[in-house]
């Protein structure tokens, strides 16, 4: 971004492994992640919104 403008970053679990973005001072992180959960009763996998761990939040 040019000088005097803001960068907006939405943190995801992908942000844990990606490279650092220069110039970021603040980050908004909802603390949630979609996890693939297998239900043996139905035999299906669904995406469920779950809270992330403290270590994941720190790494983001």
pLDDT digits (tens, 9 = 90+) for 15-59: 555 667 777 777 777 888 888 999 999 999 999 988 888 887 777
pTM here is 0.48
Q: Which residue segment(s) compose the domain that 27 sits in?
A: 13-59
Nearest to 13 by CA among 48, 47, 49, 52: 52
Token digits for 11? 């943190």
Domain assignment of residue 2, yes or no: no
Which pLDDT score, from 0 to 100, does residue 60 have?
63
Which pLDDT score, from 0 to 100, does residue 15 have?
58
- Can you say whether residue 14 is alpha, beta or left, with left for phi > 0 and alpha for psi between -120 and 50 degrees? alpha
Per the structure, the count of domains in the chain is 1
Domain assignment of residue 41, yes or no: yes
Which pLDDT score, from 0 to 100, does residue 59 have?
72
């Amino acid at each position: 971004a040019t000088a005097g403008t803001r960068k907006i970053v939405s943190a995801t679990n992908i942000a844990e492994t990606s490279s650092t973005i220069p110039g970021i001072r603040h980050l908004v992180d909802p603390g949630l992640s979609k996890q693939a959960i297998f239900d043996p009763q139905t035999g299906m996998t669904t995406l469920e919104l779950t809270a992330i761990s403290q270590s994941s939040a720190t790494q983001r």
